[in-house]
Amino acid sequence: MIMFTTKMCHLTAVVLDEDVDSVTKELLKEGVLHFIKVTDVSDDIGSHVTNASPKVSQTKISETRKRIETFFNIINHTSTDIKELDVSKLTYVNIEESNSVLDELAVDIQKIRNKQKNFQQEIHKLEEIRRQLDLFSGLENIDLTERYMFLSIKVGTIPVEKEIEFVSELAPIPSIQIKLGEESKTETTLLITMKRDFERVGKILRKFEWKDMDFSGDFTNLGIKAVSEIDTKIIDLKEKQEKINDSAKQIVMSRKEILGELWANLRMNELFYRIQSFIVKLLKQ
């Protein structure tokens, strides 16, 4: 980018204390201005003036503005260009009230992120189960006594009428359930989980009157089915992640106008108090 110099005039202004805010606002309307400290121009004046204290911390205003920009990033929204700011809409900014609005939005977004995190953890665990199955080329080659085996594979029975509730209880735990058969009032199920979830799974099995049993059937097709079940669950979880990510965008979009107005006012206040940071007050003689 080529930079061109522009001729400028030097202006030193003296205004009444009661007119400082209105003069600052007028200067802000001018757009491009370069301010310098009065004390930088004259060393002698330093003992006769003191720095003016802005009513609101520029740092707090800036931090609050940047919080809004993090929400805008969720919907890929670009903040208003400084040139388009309407100074006539500039109002006093209450940082606490502004942050209160953002806190409410942050809570809603955090709930969604927590759900996304939980889904991702489930995906990682299911992928780990799949890697274990791939490592042993299917269920038929797995030695459950292997020291480094991280899977827990059980065959057992549960009451038929409790099947739906049983599957629902296991849903939060990365697991694969394959129905092997049904006889009388019991259902035979192959259950694959991670050993690290032993206690959680154990409580559920006891609740549903699970009874372990030996299985001497062919594991070959079951291994293929287990991998297919895992892939299906992972696809389902990723779809849920996408939907919940869309809901986060919808929440921000529903408040986009309010956030835009708040951002613009914060940015103008930020510039307003930046201008005032160059103002000094004459000491009473």
Query: Which of 37-41, 94-98, 120-124, 201-205 is predicted least confidently?
Result: 37-41
CATH 3.30.70.520 fits 119-241, yes or no: no
pTM over 0.75: no
pLDDT-above-90 percentage for the chain: 29
pLDDT tens-digit map of 234-270: 999 999 988 988 999 999 999 999 999 999 999 999 9
Q: What is the pLDDT of residues 24-75, one digit of tens each?
A: 888 888 876 777 777 666 666 656 666 666 677 888 999 999 999 999 999 9
| Closest among 123, 71, 127, 63 to 99, alpha carbons compared | 63
| C-alpha torsion sign, points 79, 85, 87, 88 | negative
DSSP 130-196: HHHHHHTTSGGG--TT-TT--EEEEEEEEEGGGHHHHHHHHTTS-EEEEEEEEETTEEEEEEEEEGG
Instruction: Sketch the domain layout of the chain as residue ranges.
Output: 10-118+242-285, 119-241
Cβ atoms of 53 and 258 within 8 Å: the answer is: no
**Model pLDDT for residues 180-194, shown as the tens digit of each residue:** 888 878 888 888 888
